[in-house]
Amino acid sequence: MAAPLADRLRPQKLDDLVGQRHLLGEGKPLRRIIDSGEIPNMIFYGPSGIGKTTLASIIAKQTKRALFKLNGTTASTADIRGVVEQLDTLAAPNGILLYLDEIQYFNKKQQQTLLEFIENGQITLIASTTENPYFYVYNAILSRSTVFEFKPVEKEDVLPAVRRAFAFMEQEQGRPVSVEKEAEEYISSACGGDVRKAMNAAELCVLSGEEKDGVCHVSLQLARELTQRSALRYDRAGDEHYDILSAFQKSMRGSDPDAAVHYLARLIVAGDLPSICRRLMVCACEDVGLAYPQIIPIVKAAVDAAVQVGLPEARIPLADAVILVCNAPKSNSAYCALDAAIADIEKGRIGNIPRQLQNKHYDGEDNTHKGQFYKYPHDYPNKWVAQQYLPDELKDVHYYEYGQNKTEQAFQQYWSRIKGNNT
């Protein structure tokens, strides 16, 4: 079985690698390190299909080191020791570069074994991960490595790779390949910055293209059929999951309905209904809050409807709710008030509950001022009477500040009038 096209066309030198200009452009830090020939231990962090493995291979070739590859999902400590055994042999006369893919799957013991050999410089480690290394890689490894973040490749950089893939397939198959310009552009943008996925999609298009008069024709429609879901990067337990959810909630908070609907669409395509509903409810309470308090039961009703009907119909009430949250006035006054109160409690500022609020109606013999002295607000005009509710230690503290919106300003005017007339 032939290797995938992306492997058959893997770049052999730095200038052939697409994307990552922030790292590999002329004068950029990683490019200077590679050109120096003195390669430190490194961690490549970023999504799949953007050149991490390819770059490791190029570095090994350029520095004339033996390249050994392991994968964190299958490798064991015995595999690591097996690589080290190749040191000072004809297999590795200039040293070893160990490329460990998906290092986040190595447990602590495995990473400690690895540490033993990179500590004494016997091997140079290049580890890659699709997850944030500061969360998944042990500090001992991190402190001895330099982390470089790889980013999804821009459409403009993917397009030449797609064209090269079609040209290679034409040469390999020995027949002309005619590709619509729109098909090339669609594959370049629909791959979501994953060059490997884009090149493999190009291969599929050639293998399934319609042949007329000895020419393989690749249309936009065919490209859409073969790459229809490839633009979506989503892992419900990974960084991309939380990045999309964060962008979704921040777009609603920022009152940008276009961005919010975009991220909603990505979550719907991924089928992540629970996360959508949770973030919607949080945003309605946290970010709209008292500026439009009626939104909470409205959004709750939309969420309930979405859960009951399920996808794909759930997208309808969800879209209504998202756009409503975006367009609603915003206030986090209640959220901030509670956080301020919690901060005081965590600092130990609690104090005794005032006597008039306690749930008891008797006094000990040592109390010289007997009685609860609670004033029942409903017995007074406007259902309010001045009395102390906070503990003595906090009696002058103000946690809540009225928001600058119609609803809370109306509350403020009402209570200013009432309390002003009764104090």
Question: What does the DSSP 8-state code read for residue 98?
Answer: E
pLDDT value at residue 93: 63
pLDDT value at residue 269: 82
Contact 245, 318 (CB under 8 A): no
pLDDT value at residue 422: 47
Domains of the chain: 20-149 (3.40.50.300), 155-226 (1.10.8.60), 239-327 (1.20.272.10), 350-422 (1.10.3710)
Report if pTM > 0.75.
no
Structure tokens at 257: 């309905």
Tens-binned pLDDT, residue by residue, of the chain (423 aa): 467 777 787 888 887 788 888 888 888 888 998 888 888 899 998 888 788 888 998 988 888 888 889 888 888 888 888 887 877 666 666 778 889 998 888 888 888 888 877 876 678 889 998 888 887 888 888 888 889 988 888 888 888 889 888 988 888 888 888 888 899 888 888 877 788 888 888 888 888 888 888 888 888 888 888 875 545 555 555 567 778 889 999 999 999 999 999 999 988 887 888 889 999 999 999 999 999 999 999 999 999 999 888 888 999 999 999 999 999 999 999 999 999 999 988 888 888 888 888 776 666 666 666 667 888 888 888 888 888 888 888 888 999 999 999 999 999 999 898 888 543
| Residue 46 CB contacts under 8 Å (≥ 6 apart), including other chains | 52, 130, 149, 150, 151, 152
pLDDT value at residue 224: 85
Nearest partner of 9 among 252, 175, 172, judged by Cα: 172
Nearest partner of 68 among 106, 102, 95, 33, judged by Cα: 95
Structure tokens at 260: 């919010």
d(CA 238, CA 250): 19
Q: How far is CA 85 from CA 71, 73, 78, 306, in A?
A: 18, 22, 10, 58
Nearest partner of 279 among 311, 243, 312, judged by Cα: 243
Contact 163, 184 (CB under 8 A): yes
Kindly report the backbone phi and psi dihedral angles of residue 176, in degrees, each rounded to the nearest multiple of 5, phi listed first: -65, 145
> How does strand 146-149 pair with strand 123-129?
unpaired
pLDDT value at residue 317: 95
